[in-house]
Amino acid sequence: MKRYLASQLLISLLLLISFSVSASRFLRSENDTRRNLLTNGVGRTPPMGWNSWNHFWCGINETIVRETADALVSTGLSKLGYEYVNLDDCWAELNRDSEGNFVARKSTFPSGIKALADYVHSKGLKLGIYSSAGYKTCTQTQPGSLGYEERDAMTFASWGIDYLKYDNCFFDGTKPIVRYPKMTRALMKTGRPIFYSLCEWGDMHPALWGDRVGNSWRNTMDIVDNWDSMVSRADANEVYAEYARPGGWNDPDMLEIGNGGMTNDEYIVHFSIWAISKAPLIIGCDLRSASNETLAILGNKEVIDVNQDPLGVQAKKVRMIGDCEVWAAPLTGYRMAVLFVNRALFAYGIPAHWDDLGLPQDTVVQVRDLWKHETLKKTYKNKFEPTIASHACKMFVLTPIS
Ligand code: GLA
């Protein structure tokens, strides 16, 4: 009997120990996302720049990246705030060196990443890089950083990297909330302020924990250069509007403007929704040969100003009527950005009521059209109802005047 009791006691003790070990592990990983691990001070407004993936996929090299940096300056886009020049997948050799360090791909980046960073910095711009919270990146052509977080973060910092996009391919079965904070800590340890862009595709609702871990979080799978893909990413991202704030932004993926799959009006919708949604404005076309139409969209300062407004509040849809919708976001100075989008096949008049916008009744507003660059002659009270063409939008700033 005594022996039986002793063995029962031992079993209970062992169960208790293993339960507390796993509970403390669980709580530790929970704590990882409850505490603010990232205090790097960057991303007070949504990041602006360029990334190689949407246009070039794996076909990048140092010449393209240098010429893109040149183009950001010569087109005037850098003056408007586009500062990050970001490498995506395919910049590294498949194998690390004998010490376990990343090696730049010799055939396409023969001068190395440090030299590229120096060049980009000499233009007054910043260099971004890409890795994955897994064993390989998504193209399987280079290693990921899982298990190498500190080493890789130190390498990136020593090269002068300013932005890290961190993908989610080929991992060990653990959840993003376990893998992504490891890189947060590693980046913080370098002491270099590096914008940290989480790219786990919205799998584990990163908006709910991303602001403690990164400066932005992708809420969607990859965008494709067509209307349906673009608006579906916008919709998925809008759901999480309340989680965006200076230092941490919802990310509906990068821009397709200039890649040829949408009409000019549709690209204007794309840019307007991204801007009012406080999304990262990361250009995804070949800037070296961008058309005037493309540059006019990407370079619309009045729309960029909405994106970069210091209040940092992401727009929500405040009214929907069938395929027509009104998006609105407050701006500094009691102003309001309002975007009317028509997804239907015919033109429609779409109303915004002051109730929708949170404006007090009888407030009189002045209306600035951000795409026509003109202030409307008429002032408006209680309701504003422009007509919008099919697959197009109009974007305004409303300023109360009495
Ligand atoms: C994933 C990401 C993309 C891109 C590719 C590169 O699909 O979501 O944005 O970075 O990997 O392989």
Q: Determine which helix (DSSP H) or strand (DSSP E) holds 55, and give its type and residue range.
A: helix 53-56
- What pLDDT, on a 0 to 100 scale, did the predictor assign at position 35? 77
Residue 139 alpha carbon, nearest atom of ligand 1: 12
pLDDT beyond 50 at 73: yes
Ligand 1 centre from 390 Cα, in Å? 31
Residue 221 alpha carbon, nearest atom of ligand 1: 8
Written as one string, the DSSP assignment of 212-224 is HH-SEEE-SS---
More confident residue, 77 or 7: 77
Classify residue 44 by its DSSP letter: S
Residue nearest to atom 9 of ligand 1 (CA): 222
Helix axes 62-74, 112-122, angle to 10 degrees: 10
Written as one string, the DSSP assignment of 91-135 is -B-SS--TTS---B-TTT-TTHHHHHHHHHHHTT-EEEEEEESSS
- CB burial readout 351-384, b (16+ within 10 A) else e: ebebebbebeeebebbbbebbeeeeeeeebeeeb
What gap in Å lies between CA 153 and CA 147, rounded to an integer? 12
Which of 51, 55, 60, 89 gets mutated to test ligand 1 (max ligand atoms within 8 A of its CB)? Answer: 89
Segment 148-159 mean pLDDT:
98
Contact in structure between 364 and 380 (CB atoms under 8 Å): yes
What gap in Å lies between CA 93 and CA 188, rounded to an integer? 26
More confident residue, 22 or 311: 311
Contact in structure between 296 and 358 (CB atoms under 8 Å): no
Which of 57, 60, 138, 251 gets mutated to test ligand 1 (max ligand atoms within 8 A of its CB)? Answer: 138
pLDDT digits (tens, 9 = 90+) for 330-351: 999 999 999 999 999 999 999 9
- What pLDDT, on a 0 to 100 scale, did the predictor assign at position 186? 98
Ligand 1 centre from 56 Cα, in Å? 12
pLDDT digits (tens, 9 = 90+) for 294-310: 999 999 999 999 999 99
Banded pLDDT at 93 (limits 50, 70, 90): very high
Classify residue 59 by its DSSP letter: -
**Averaged pLDDT score across all residues of the chain:** 94
- Long-range residue pairs from 151-157, CB within 8 A, at least 24 positions apart, any chain: 151/100, 151/101, 152/102, 152/186, 153/183, 153/186, 153/187, 153/189, 153/190, 153/194, 154/186, 154/189, 154/190, 155/101, 155/102, 156/129, 156/187, 156/190, 156/194, 157/187, 157/190, 157/191, 157/192, 157/194
Paired tokens of 126 = 């910043």
pLDDT digits (tens, 9 = 90+) for 247-292: 999 999 999 999 999 999 999 999 999 999 999 999 999 999 999 9
pLDDT digits (tens, 9 = 90+) for 111-143: 999 999 999 999 999 999 999 999 999 999 999
Is any atom of ligand 1 closer than 6 Å to the C-beta of 139? Answer: yes
pLDDT beyond 50 at 27: no
Residue nearest to atom 11 of ligand 1 (CA): 138
Residue 131's closest CA among 162, 88, 94, 172?
A: 88
For 200, residues 6+ apart whose C-beta sits below 8 A from its C-beta are: 133, 168, 176, 180, 206, 217, 218
- What pLDDT, on a 0 to 100 scale, did the predictor assign at position 7? 67
Residue nearest to atom 4 of ligand 1 (CA): 53
pTM, to two decimals: 0.92
For 380, residues 6+ apart whose C-beta sits below 8 A from its C-beta are: 364, 365, 367, 398
Q: By three-state DSSP, how is residue 272 classified?
A: helix
- What pLDDT, on a 0 to 100 scale, did the predictor assign at position 272? 99
Calculate the CA dihedral of residues 255, 256, 258, 262 and round it to 10 degrees: -130
Ligand 1 centre from 201 Cα, in Å? 9
Segment 197-219 mean pLDDT:
97
Contact in structure between 311 and 282 (CB atoms under 8 Å): no
Which of 94, 197, 216, 222 gets mutated to test ligand 1 (max ligand atoms within 8 A of its CB)? Answer: 222
Residue 374 backbone phi and psi in degrees, to 5 = -145, 150
Ligand 1 centre from 157 Cα, in Å? 22
- CB burial readout 33-58, b (16+ within 10 A) else e: beeebbebeebebbbbbbbbbbbbee
Banded pLDDT at 26 (limits 50, 70, 90): very low
Residue 218 alpha carbon, nearest atom of ligand 1: 8
Distance of CA 389 to the CA centre of its chain: 29
> pLDDT > 70: what percent of the chain?
92
pLDDT digits (tens, 9 = 90+) for 168-178: 999 999 999 99
Q: Terminal CA-to-CA distance of the chain, rounded, Å?
A: 88
Ligand 1 centre from 9 Cα, in Å? 53
Is any atom of ligand 1 closer than 6 Å to the C-beta of 167? Answer: yes
